[in-house]
Amino acid sequence: MYYIAGMKNWRRERNHYYLEAKKRGIRSRAYFKIEDMDKRFNIFAPGDIVIDIGAAPGGWLQYISKVIGLDGLVIGVDIKEIEEFTDKYNIVTIKGDIFSEETLKKIKDKLMGRKADVIVSDASPNITGVYEIDSMKIYEINKRVMHIAKKFLKRNGILVLKTFQGREEQRVRRMLMKKFKFIKIYKPKASRKRSSEIYYIGFYFLPKSSRTSKTT
């Protein structure tokens, strides 16, 4: 009984965002997650330079492009091809694995000597369903995103990082606490309740220091 009721809720939840995205020409329901986080935490500003890691098919890119405006730039990176945005002049994309040095070199080239105001990562591994493996894989991605932040994020910049609740989460939290003045943890409304995904948002990046910050 409970299982069926849960399924119904899940379907309703899924359909609402799916239909809304379809109606508005939005590439993925993930759009509503970043919109929710931005409305709550004021992540983006007009003119920002943003790196979007794990950007395909491009829902976050659509939202970020809108809020940073034409003076801003968002660089979308994904191992998969991101279909071109023919009508958005502030989006550039890179097809590449974030674990490859060549991809980091491409990001550097697109930044043209500048640093990013915000780095967002919705990157997630292919889910195997084996808890230990999936936790380990997302933790490896999270560490790599942190490495990218150390290279390309501005002092006082913001990092939005998807991780999974559970096993490795405390390590992710500690990793961020060393490099950001404070951290928020948030599960957007559009995130499926039964999914373990959760977002860590680090504010005020401290490039050189190693400290312990506040989490709320």
Ligand X SMILES: C[S@@+](CC[C@H](N)C(=O)[O-])C[C@H]1O[C@@H](n2cnc3c(N)ncnc32)[C@H](O)[C@@H]1O
Residue type, 188: P
Q: Where are the alpha helices (DSSP H) in the chain?
A: 2-23, 30-41, 59-68, 101-111, 131-152, 169-179
When the beta carbons of 105 and 214 are compared against ligand X, the nearer one is 105
Task: List residues near ligand X by CB under 6 A.
Answer: 27-28, 30-31, 54-60, 77-80, 97-99, 122-125, 141
Q: Name residue, tokens 């992710």.
A: 172
Residue nearest to ligand X (CB): 54
Nearest-approach distance from CB 144 to ligand X, in angstroms: 7
Nearest-approach distance from CB 95 to ligand X, in angstroms: 9
Nearest-approach distance from CB 71 to ligand X, in angstroms: 22
Alpha-carbon gap, residue 181 to 170, rounded angstroms:
17
DSSP label of 80: S
Q: In degrees, to the nearest 5, what angle opens at C-alpha 122 toward C-alphas 163 and 54?
A: 130
Catalytic residue among 80, 162, 178, 184: 162
When the beta carbons of 63 and 203 are compared against ligand X, the nearer one is 63
3-state DSSP of 9-45: HHHHHHHHHHHHHHHCCCCCCHHHHHHHHHHHHCCCC
Query: Catalytic site residue 23?
Result: no
For residue 138, how many other CB atoms are within 10 A of its CB?
A: 25
CA atoms in the 13 A half-sphere facing the CB of 2 = 0
When the beta carbons of 7 and 127 are compared against ligand X, the nearer one is 127
- The answer to whether 32 and 214 are in contact (CB under 8 A) is no
- The answer to whether 187 and 177 are in contact (CB under 8 A) is no
Nearest-approach distance from CB 2 to ligand X, in angstroms: 28
When the beta carbons of 34 and 177 are compared against ligand X, the nearer one is 34
Nearest-approach distance from CB 206 to ligand X, in angstroms: 26
When the beta carbons of 120 and 177 are compared against ligand X, the nearer one is 120
Catalytic residue positions, numbered? 162
